[in-house]
Structure 1
Amino acid sequence: MGYRVAVVGATGAVGREMLKTLAERDFPVSEVVALASGRSVGQEVSFGEKSVLKVQALERFDFKATELAFFSPGAAVSAVHAPRAAAAGCVVIDNTSHFRMEHDVPLVVPEVNARHLKNFARRNIISNPNCSTIQMVVALKPLHDIARIRRVVVSTYQSVSGAGREAMDELFNQTRAMFVNDAAVPEQFTKPIAFNVIPHIDAFLDEGATKEEWKMAAETRKILDPDIAVIATCVRVPVFIGHAEAVHVEFEGPITEEQAVEALREAPGIQLVDKREDGGYVTPLESVGEDAVYVSRLRRDPTVPHGLAFWCVSDNLRKGAALNAVQIAEALHEQRLVKPRRG
């Protein structure tokens, strides 16, 4: 018996990836409904290789017969419709930022803190973390288990797909414009993104950090350990898909490179690709369509008593969004926290 599932924001990049991932991983479904705003009603989206779904209106949809809903429509829309779905008895897995820091909503990366799922029933909502946070905590968890992490300094190199389909179109159009000597006019970003990098993701906060940088710090503490100090610099780069991060970790006690290598090789969700030679590392382009968080360039950080540095990459639409959400649903199913309803 399968679950009746709704995918909200089904016409967006993440929504389409959720439908693709549900089908590829053969998640037990009896029915899948694609939902979006009224302007998308009637559009068709793919579910697997053979099924095509017609998009229905989110505003008019009754969630009473739906057991699981994957939300990725934007925070303002989730704020209205996720509680409505949850009140109807549907378990919501929300990919937006709206509920992440609410104390009674679990913020979950299954490889890291699947045990937190048992608390979902208070609100019937589970939050998917920020894409940049997800890949970092997957890599940090096995290291934290060896020697507690004191501090993380991270610089991100985030692809434009993290800002949506229009942002991907802007990179494409600006790149083409530059080759024919046309102006690269920014609309989705504050400055031209083609052949450029922009040290600004989300709104600026009073203390000078951006909201994206704040999210990485706050979410890491909620998921992994409230005592970890995190400072992030988040940068948008002219890459279509795939986020990369340069991570410097200070530990409370000794940890060797050999210990870190062994832990990372055994950890779920991680592929260690670290040859100290030309090309012996993974780039964002190579992560596209892959499930893993790739770790490369692992080395000792000699500037602190107990430090390591590494490079990690992941497909931000997949592990950074859709796959993590589906893995949450799989964990709910495996732990029997949610069961298909008969009838």
Structure 2
Amino acid sequence: MKVAVVGATGMVGEVMLRVLEERNFPFTELLLVASERSVGKEMEFKGKTYSIIGLQTAVEAKPDIAIFSAGGDTSLDWAPKFAEVGTTVIDNSSAWRMDPTKKLVVPEINAESLTKEDKIIANPNCSTIQMVLALSPLHKTYGINRVVVSTYQSITGTGVKAVRQLENEYAGVKDEMAYPYPIHRNALPHCDVFEDNGYTKEEMKLTRETKKILDNNINVTATAVRIPVVGGHSEAVNIEFDNDFELGEVRRLLSETPGVTVQDNPDTNTYPMPIYAEGKNDVFVGRIRRDESQPNTLNMWIVADNLRKGAATNAVQIAEYLIANDLI
């Protein structure tokens, strides 16, 4: 099994390599791929030194799987070239997510839709993945009509430039900024660019991707906020169901969902937080309570490491599913 990691030197790419190592991913050959300016540089993986190669060299090597974390433009240009030589591409960017010919996959929810013909597979947005993983069992049981979500998102979702901005602001150093305003001791209601409807691209990803993954009839409205946190994304989610529910049953359904860990005990101050989610692959759910302002409505707090389940882990799980089901 020949595997290429495209964008291996980036923040998600480095986490991807850690996840591959932790999960003992079954490859026989590993290609570490990055932009031309990184070609020839060396990286260590499992005690072995690898030289970074360019995209064209990687295409010519015809890997079985290529996991992309190199940005939308790179994916649009190069994913089809890999697919043409028989490689199955799993793409972390937004480039292919809303393409009606491409599957948008969270393995625990809809991996069974994948076939050998799916040569470009889209990984959902980080904030979407953690939310739909928790929503899925509840939608199957009660039917979701509407979701109102406010996100509190880690600067790591922006990238290394944002991490440097926060570190510089901690130190009182003025340098290049990833955001239009300081992020230290601040909250920016501005994740990604604004669209014509006044929502940001990040907010509309939550709306559009949830519909594609779960059910086109689910209405979603979102507010996405960037906060000075590095461990993961947090979400306050209000869910209106078609049918009533019991809180004990909700907790049971979530506890039995693969990839979800329930942390919900107010008596012991037990609830999810990004400081504890960091470095873990699960989605953590807590603060589970009935919305007392209207019927059939639930509030939850959902937290996950956006670089892991929100990106690298989900992509590796897709690859594992493909191998386990002879789809490569």
Equivalent of residue 122 in structure 2, options 110, 123, 127: 127
Match of 2:23 among 11, 25, 33: 25
Equivalent in the alignment of 2:9: 11
Match of 2:153 among 158, 161, 184: 158
Q: Confirm whether residue 73 of structure 1 aligns to residue 70 of structure 2.
A: yes
In the TM superposition, what whole-angstrom CA distance separates every residue of 1:33-82 from its partner, at most 9, and x where no partner exists? 1000011112222323x123221112443345310000010101111011
The structural deviation recorded for 1:145 is 1.5
Q: SS at 2:19's partner residue? A: helix
Query: Is 1:86 matched with 2:76?
Result: no
Distance 1:190 1:135 in 2: 27
The one of 281, 285, 292 equivalent to 1:291 is: 281
Out of 43, 55, 58, the residue aligned to residue 58 of structure 1 is: 55
Aligned twin of 2:208: 218
Give me the TM-score of the superposition, normalised by structure 2: 0.97
Aligned with 2:222 (options 232, 249, 255): 232
Q: Give the aligned residue type for 1:294.
A: F
Question: Which residues of structure 2 form unaligned runs of 5+?
Answer: none
Q: Distance in 2 between matches of 1:116 and 1:64?
A: 28
C-alpha distance after superposition, 1:100-148 (max 9, x if no partner)? 0001110000011112212x615x1000000000000011011111100
Whole-angstrom CA distance in 1 between matches of 2:160 and 2:245: 42
Letter in structure 1 aligned against 2:121: I
Query: TM-score when scaled to structure 1?
Result: 0.93
Query: In structure 2, what is the Cα distance between the partners aligned to 1:47 and 1:232?
Result: 39
The letter of the residue matching 1:36 is A
Match of 2:37 in 1: 39
Structure 1 stretches lacking a partner, 5+ long: 339-343
1:6–1:70 Cα contact (<8 Å) kept: yes
For 1:280, what is the secondary structure of its paired residue?
Answer: coil
For residues 239-269 of structure 1, the C-alpha deviation after alignment (integer angstroms, 9 at most, x for no partner) is 1231110000000111111110110111100
| SS of equivalent to 1:151 | strand
Q: Distance in 1 between matches of 2:242 and 2:31?
A: 48
AA of the residue aligned to 1:46: E
- Asked whether the equivalents of residues 272 and 303 of structure 2 are also in contact (C-alpha less than 8 Å), the reply is yes
Instruction: Classify 1:185/1:40 alpha carbon distance in 2 versus 1 (closer, same or farther; 3 Å).
Output: closer
The verdict on how the C-alpha distance between 1:63 and 1:272 changes in structure 2, with shifts beyond 3 A counting, is: farther
Residues 303 and 185 of structure 1, relative CA distance in 2, 3 Å threshold: farther
- The AA in structure 2 aligned to 1:81 is W
1:135-167 per-residue CA deviation (whole Å, 9 max, x = no partner) reads: 000110111111000000000010010011111
Conserved 8 A contact 2:183-2:228: yes
Secondary structure of the corresponding residue to residue 190 of structure 1? coil
Q: State the identity as a percent.
A: 47
* Alignment pair present for 1:332 and 2:315: no
- Secondary structure of 1:56's counterpart equals coil
Question: Deviation at 1:85?
Answer: 0.4
- C-alpha contact 1:19 1:46 (8 A) present in aligned 2: no
| Equivalent in the alignment of 1:189 | 179
CA displacement at 1:278 relative to structure 2: 5.1
- State the AA in 1 paired with 2:152: Y
**Equivalent-residue separation in structure 2 for 1:303 and 1:63 (angstroms):** 60
Task: Tell whether 2:299 aligns with 1:313.
Answer: no
Quick one: distance in 1 between partners of 2:60 and 2:210?
32
Q: Is the 8 A contact 1:37 1:59 kept in 2?
A: no
SS at match of 2:267: coil
C-alpha RMSD of matched pairs (Å): 1.3
Q: Which amino acid in structure 2 is aligned with residue 14 of structure 1?
A: V
Q: State how far apart, in whole Å, the 2-side matches of 1:85 and 1:170 are.
A: 35
Aligned to 1:321, the other structure's residue is in SS state: helix
- In the other structure, the counterpart of 2:270 is 280
| Offset from partner CA, 1:212-234 (integer Å, 9 cap, x none) | 10011100000011100000100
What is the match of residue 143 of structure 1?
A: 138
Q: Match of 1:104, SS?
A: coil
The letter of the residue matching 1:18 is: M
**8 Å Cα contact 1:175-1:195 kept in structure 2:** no
